Structure 1
């Protein structure tokens, strides 16, 4: 969020905006053009010549490349035009910057930010990012005032596809997008802005959340048959999934096998349009990492965040409020509230009540958000402690996706706007969403219940078969 940005984060986004503006207008043609950008940044913010390598590495990272300390620019612009995806690691360290903090790393905000996830930091010069333990939640990135930790931005390779009319490229937007670009900006106006940039169309990921809600409701009905049974979701949060998978193997057995709505959107769009590229747009740094997981990759080609897209609109001088609205009602009330804490639980419960109204064991939800509370509930489940619930929803960010590290507005305000947007939907529950049935029929299924069958399309909803 704007008010939560540290001093350096705003400078970093200025670097990104300049990169976008120059690349879009064909002013980045050779390494000397990047050197010129370094001088522009130094002059604007008063950096010294000794900080050249620091600025160059941040330019590389906002281009989607790895940092490379003390190396001059060489083939970065050529690399960007050749790559079809941005490689891991997503969260990376910029060498030589932690000296600005002094030696007491344990007293810094970035250290505390990672307290409940993995022991990222050791007693040495700056952070040691242990990538097989890092949850990629991005809290440390947004809390670092000196630019020592950064996440790669994936827009530079996308520009080539947006300018190539032969490749259809779709924007799949997270349910929490409403309100992120202005109080009175509609989804239809965001769709128009994205199509103006060169996207073929914009699709609400909430539509695919509706499909997964139906699947998880059937699974709950099948698996929770006694007072001791419990079922874990939320499949939409990679921080929660990674936390359960890496630290709580026994509890992991109770976790839904579903992919996230993001992954499902990419899989289904590519099933419908095999030549397409899909860009997910959301509030989350962890989604960049999720899209690159071995069993999930190929579904989503690139991930952008709301704060990044906001800078892109500024760089391209797109004023959304002046655009006409291309409105499409694609998702239900239930699918749209996935963007805030409790949304998944509410959605699944509406469908459980629909498909099994006479169930003796009712769905009783426990909703937790923030890594600390997620870890606390998992500790209780792991020790077999009674939690007085049979459906557990975990979200890594406070407030759910609306509290993500790359949002543009306050989470309380975002929650209110999500609820209002959901109420505006003409579709109440996933079972009432004819867009779900229409999409499935285009893929060869006749009924919504076929999502639970043994078929190629149902397999798209599962992490691993």
Structure 2
């Protein structure tokens, strides 16, 4: 009985592909069409009629909706038209856990942050006020009992609507994620083919925030005892500090993540009420975009694994496409994708701002749960860590080690380093694209960027 649920993470991506093809070709028009799809999937994977509620819930989650248990499809088509994906992002689905219990298997799924997931009523219990939405449990459960909502199906009609511009902002870890021979220029072309107006590197906005953090470091770190916590780009690290180490929170960068900055700035620059879709290796970014104080900047979040499935379902061969290359970000901004990249980038700007600074930026880079928790405990306990700039990333290796990457960490790191070195822009301070954006807001210097009220409002987290 257990075997039928084996490797269900792959099967749920197959379900997602079936949904893409059906909705893209407008074959899903009434609730009964979804019911037919559920029975088609049942037969395809040799499941049973008793598994239909389980299949329905995976279809719902793949459409960005909440599971409903043993309830037939009814209002789902109206719900996805609302264009609003809600919390919780990581959700539990009834069914497979009871078979683990029946066979006496002990559930080994435990939160990456050491909050155990308990089984109750045949499904895992996710404590949402503790859950950091890191997605670790999703990638570890092989039976489909835990899943994260997918946000593409509600986006299809918007992509097809020529009156609504949709911009893709893509995380710097994307390079090489869709094939060794696929360039970022070809990825931009592919996204335009499915209806996106353009693709913008989030590394450009990382450059902007690097400059802001460099100014903040210079302002905050005045003595040997002072220190500064970054990176604002990782919601898992940020939430770990905020929820579990509130005494250190005032040392955290007050900036939004580059992803949120990309959405806020694009929506200010373009007046046609554009939609912004962030593409990342991360599940936590789906939750970040829906935080009440950040909501509205990013409309939808897709991850690399989902985007790969979208291209396959729509039969788009990226290697055959003509590249649309644009140099938007610096070496420093692109290196945000891997451990140590933020520290490197901020240091280059700090050295430019104050080359004779007495107290130099001295960083420590931590990644993965054990290192993040260890350094935060040391800081809380007043232990000397011999650093004044602490960069934390929730995934081992940084974003290139995220739960929804398509390639391994080492390959991802090499690709990011190589792509960064290809940039004609050495440091964020040299990025003229930032000056163009700032001029649109009547800001004419980088120094004014950190003092301007409009830009402060755009770039502040809370």
Shared fold (TM-score, shorter chain, > 0.5): yes
What displacement does 1:117 show? 4.4
Corresponding position: 1:225 with 2:222: yes
Counterpart-to-counterpart distance in 1, 2:337 and 2:99: 37
Task: Please give the alpha-carbon distance, in whole angstroms, between the structure 2 residues aligned to 1:462 and 1:371.
Answer: 26
Alpha-carbon shift at residue 85 of structure 1 (Å) = 1.8
CA deviation vs aligned residue, 1:350-408 (integer Å, no higher than 9, x gap): 10111111111111111011122111111111111111111000000110000101110
Bigger mean CA deviation after superposition, 8-17 or 28-37: 28-37
C-alpha distance in 1 between matches for 2:114 and 2:436: 41
Query: Could you tell me how far 1:40 is from its partner in structure 2?
Result: 1.7
- Per the alignment, residue 153 of structure 1 pairs with 150
State the number of aligned residues. Answer: 456
Match of 2:280 in 1: 282
The match for 2:308 among 307, 310, 316 is 310
Shift of 1:84: 2.2
- SS, match of residue 426 in structure 2: coil
Counterpart contact for 1:57–1:94, Cα < 8 Å: yes
Aligned-pair distance for 1:7? 1.0
Q: What residue in structure 1 maps to residue 91 of structure 2?
A: 92
1:152-192 CA-to-partner distances (Å, cap 9, x unmatched) read 00001110110111111100000100000011211111110
| TM norm structure 1 | 0.96
Q: Does 1:415 align with 2:413?
A: yes
> Which string of whole-angstrom CA distances, capped at 9 and with x for unpartnered residues, describes residues 254-302 of structure 1?
0000000000000000001131000000000000000000110000000
Question: Match of 2:77?
Answer: 77
Change in Cα spacing, 1:381 to 1:123, as seen in structure 2 (3 Å) is farther
SS in 2 for 1:426: coil
Query: Could you list the per-position Cα deviations for residues 33-78 of structure 1 after superposition, in whole angstroms to 9, with x for gaps in the alignment?
Result: 1122112211211111110000000000000000000101112112
Partners of 2:198 and 2:204 in 1: how far apart? 14
Shift of 1:303: 0.2
**Is the alpha carbon distance of 1:231 and 1:246 closer, same or farther for their aligned partners in structure 2, counting shifts above 3 Å?**
same
Partner of 1:463: 461
The CA deviation at 1:97 is 2.3
Q: How does 1:104-143 map to 2 (within 5 A)?
A: 107-111=106-110, 114-121=111-118, 125-143=122-140
For the residues of structure 2 that align with 1:250 and 1:218, how far apart are their CA atoms? Answer: 23
Match of 1:12 in 2: 12
- For 2:44 and 2:123, how far apart are their aligned partners in 1? 27
Cα drift, residue 122 of structure 1 = 6.3
Q: Which residue matches 1:319?
A: 317
Query: Partner of 1:3 in structure 2?
Result: none
Q: How far apart, CA to CA, are the structure 1 residues paired with 2:40 and 2:193?
A: 29
Match among 145, 151, 170 for residue 173 of structure 1? 170
Counterparts in 2 of 1:178-217, with a 5 A limit?
178-217=175-214
Give the 5 Å matches for 1:370-409: 370-409=368-407
**Given that residues 335 and 347 in structure 1 are in contact (C-alpha distance below 8 angstroms), is that contact kept between their aligned partners in structure 2?**
yes
Native 8 Å contact 1:187 1:327 kept in 2: yes
- In the superposition, the TM-score normalised over structure 2's length comes to 0.96
Partner Cα separation in structure 2 for residue 324 and residue 207 of structure 1: 23
> Would the aligned equivalents of 1:118 and 1:135 in 2 still touch at CA under 8 Å?
no
- Cα distance in 1 for partners of 2:174, 2:307 equals 11
Indicate which of 255, 269, 272 corresponds to 1:272: 269
Instruction: Summarize the Cα distance change of 1:329–1:94 in structure 2 as closer, same or farther, 3 Å threshold.
Output: same
The runs of at least 4 aligned residues of structure 1 exceeding 4 Å deviation read 103-107, 122-125
How much is the aligned-residue C-alpha RMSD, in angstroms? Answer: 1.4
Most deviating of 443-452 and 57-66: 443-452
The 10-residue stretch of structure 1 (95-104 or 200-209) with the greater mean CA deviation from structure 2: 95-104
Q: C-alpha distance in 2, partners of 1:397/1:94?
A: 25
What does residue 335 of structure 1 align with?
333
Q: How far apart are 1:116 and its partner, in Å?
A: 2.5
Aligned pair partner of 1:437 in 429, 435, 438: 435
1:161 partner SS = helix
Aligned match of 2:52: 52
Does structure 1 conserve the Cα–Cα contact (< 8 Å) formed by 2:17 and 2:313? yes
Report the secondary structure of 2:167's partner residue: strand
Q: Distance in 1 between matches of 2:455 and 2:262?
A: 12
> 1:419 and 1:104, CA in 2 relative to 1: closer, same or farther beyond 3 A?
farther
Against the structure 1 CA distance between its residues 42 and 103, is the aligned structure 2 distance closer, same or farther, given a 3 Å change threshold?
closer
Q: Is the Cα–Cα contact under 8 Å of residues 244 and 251 in structure 1 kept in the other structure?
A: yes
* TM superposition shift of 1:135: 0.6
Change (3 A) 1:117 1:294: farther
Q: Distance in 1 between matches of 2:72 and 2:234?
A: 38
Segments of structure 2 that go 5 or more residues without pairing to the other structure are: 1-5
Give 1:106 deviation, angstroms.
9.4
Q: Give the CA deviation at 1:99.
A: 1.1
